[in-house]
A and B are shown apart, each in its own frame.
Chain A
């Protein structure tokens, strides 16, 4: 059954689409106006030059009649003295549309506009036409391009609002979860008589939740700063291996996260053995920590607490790469770039994973890596095949070693 739309429904639809309708109408009106103006100008050019041609034709006719009816003065061949635009020619010379026979007395002669004068007028008309068509096309193009740009701005604004809404929903979940745990822990401490042995593991869990909250807050703040381009990393020479060792120790990670010993066969033969063990890179320790936190946290978020992450260091030319390889669920290879977009989270498409994380982590990491003059890329051979991240950093030449 075909549903007939009521006036009210049409009205509501128009109200919803008001911005689109007003915008499209304004653009259409402008386009029509410019087209109409172009046609008007084109026709006025025609009119102007038709009038000029008519003027010459009228002169030819009047002078021709006058000369033809005067038996006493024989017209001289060549340019007509009274009107330089005309010429008198012999009957057998090439005919012209505007030629007039000097009848009845000088039958063998014609008065006609000079060829070059007519050509000049026609060329001028052509030039004016091209000008009008060019100008109006440019104007139309300008209108359409600015229309498209305005529409794009509107669309981007709308998307940003949507993203903010989504982000807010995620952030509220991310804030509520650790608070719920910690609150339940504190309430229990208050209400129940727990032994030291019972409290100890719970304390650790609660602390982890607070750390999670801290990371979230940090990501949000860094993310906002980066969006405003106000952040600046402070580069300094960092001993990479020492940094990683200290990082792993300070985070008391389970054995699942390990540092791979350096590859004994260097990929770059110019690198000698000892220096490889003490690679110094130019980086910001704080930024480096944020990147490590996010990549490891992601691996554990998606791969569960049993996930294994291998951290390796590779040297190639003037760059050093920190490679993170996990045995988690991985992702489709074509997602390798998309995961670095702000607000994008892997698993958006999975029902259970909805609203886990803020979608800012990897975006922030890549921005930080770039600000340190490096890069951050990801790869995976497919779902279920683990994910890899490679953080490229610039070498800092060693002075003291």
Chain B
């Protein structure tokens, strides 16, 4: 972990391997340190292992859903910014995730450039 002292550390939670790998790869190329988790359960496990600057969270996953995982980490008092990345685009879901404590929302299929821009903006804002 020593090598990532100055790099912002991100956590990508996504059950689809290809999407997870692609996000990780692009974020790493953009200069972030990335940890991944395939499920909501895994997220709740790794969240305590270190400090993260941002979490990218999918909603529809086997086991604990992204919404439930988000509610749980907020309940535990973890205030890390969260961007929801999901195929669900209805207003009800969007509003619900913001109510649960999400900071941004990006719909699948997304443009990688947009995702990187949002991540950058969120990190900048949280640093301030």
**Cβ of B2 < 8 Å from any Cβ of A?**
no
Given A208-B18, A352-B65, are A180 and B29 also a contact pair (CB < 8 Å)?
no
How long is the Cα–Cα vector from A206 to B16 in the complex, in angstroms? 11
How long is the Cα–Cα vector from A180 to B62 in the complex, in angstroms? 18
- Interface flags for B77-118 (1: CB within 8 Å of A; 0: not) read 000000000011000000000000000000011111100000
Given A351-B65, A354-B65, are A184 and B87 also a contact pair (CB < 8 Å)?
no
How long is the Cα–Cα vector from A242 to B57 in the complex, in angstroms? 44
Q: Which residues on B sit within 8 Å (CB–CB) of A206?
A: 18
**Cβ of B21 < 8 Å from any Cβ of A?**
yes
Interface residues on A, range: 20 to 34
B contacts with A, residue count (CB < 8 A) = 27
A183 and B65 contact, CB distance less than 8 A: no
User: Which residue of the partner chain B has the closest CB to A192?
Assistant: B29
**Cβ of B37 < 8 Å from any Cβ of A?**
no
Q: Which residues on A sit within 8 Å (CB–CB) of B17?
A: 205
Q: Which residues on B sit within 8 Å (CB–CB) of A182?
A: 18
Interface centre among B26, B65, B68, B109 (most CB of A within 10 A): B109
**Cβ of B25 < 8 Å from any Cβ of A?**
yes
Q: Which residues on A sit within 8 Å (CB–CB) of B112?
A: 184, 187-188, 191
Contact of A176 among B40, B64, B108 (CB under 8 A): B108
User: Which residue of the partner chain A has the closest CB to B87?
Assistant: A176
Given A183-B109, A185-B22, A205-B21, are A304 and B65 also a contact pair (CB < 8 Å)?
no
A180 and B25 contact, CB distance less than 8 A: no
Q: Which residues on A sit within 8 Å (CB–CB) of B68?
A: 351-352
A172 and B19 contact, CB distance less than 8 A: no
User: Which residue of the partner chain A has the closest CB to B66?
Assistant: A352
User: Which residue of the partner chain A has the closest CB to B18?
Assistant: A181
How long is the Cα–Cα vector from A71 to B24 in the complex, in angstroms? 131
Given A176-B87, A192-B26, A352-B63, are A205 and B18 also a contact pair (CB < 8 Å)?
yes
How long is the Cα–Cα vector from A337 to B10 in the complex, in angstroms? 44
A184 and B62 contact, CB distance less than 8 A: no
- Interface flags for A158-177 (1: CB within 8 Å of B; 0: not) read 00000000000000110011
A188 and B22 contact, CB distance less than 8 A: yes
How long is the Cα–Cα vector from A275 to B1 in the complex, in angstroms? 62
In the complex, chain A residues 183-205 whose Cβ is within 8 Å of any chain B Cβ: 183-185, 187-188, 191-192, 198, 201-202, 205
Given contacts A173-B87, A182-B18, A205-B21, could you give 18 more A-B pairs where the C-beta distance is less than 8 Å? A173-B60, A176-B109, A181-B19, A181-B22, A184-B109, A187-B111, A202-B18, A202-B25, A205-B18, A206-B18, A208-B18, A209-B16, A209-B18, A352-B61, A352-B63, A354-B60, A355-B88, A356-B62
A-B contact pairs, 6 of them (CB 8 A): A176-B109, A187-B113, A202-B22, A205-B21, A351-B65, A351-B68
